Amino acid sequence: PIHGDGNYIRDWIYVKDQCEAFDKALHTKGIEGEIFNVGASNERTVIEMTEHILTILDRPKDLIEFIQDRPGREKRRAVDINKIREQLGWQAKTDFNKALEETVSWYVENHWWWEKRIKA
């Protein structure tokens, strides 16, 4: 279910891009103790993401269920990635649509992994 109306914005990043950022920071000499924000500048609402995933899965949008919003929800959550881009030369590389399709495909192909977590 989606909390509230789903119109809150998040910065979505592909897990492989995020891992690459961590790897770059871990293996760059002279930056010990530095803090870097990692993001992809892919700001989209939760409802947009949900509808996009349903489209990839060829499922109807009437599957979306809205529930009461949680108190204190942030309308926008995104990070400034200028520091990691300038100091490490890193930025997310994967095309957003390709990344989402690969992620959805992984979950479809590996249902055994997440199904046991739902049952727990």
Domain boundaries along the sequence of the chain: 2-119
pTM beyond 0.85: the answer is yes
Neighbours of 76 (CB within 10 A): 10
pLDDT mean across residues, the chain:
96
Q: C-alpha 86: how far from its chain's center?
A: 22
Instruction: Give the pLDDT band of residue 118 (cuts 50, 70, 90).
Output: confident
pLDDT in tens, 35-78: 999 999 999 999 999 999 999 999 999 999 999 999 998 999 99
Give the whole-angstrom CA distance, residue 25 versus residue 83: 12
> Is 3.40.5.90 the CATH classification of the domain at 2-119?
no
pLDDT of residue 103: 97
Q: Tokens 């809205």 correspond to what residue? A: 66
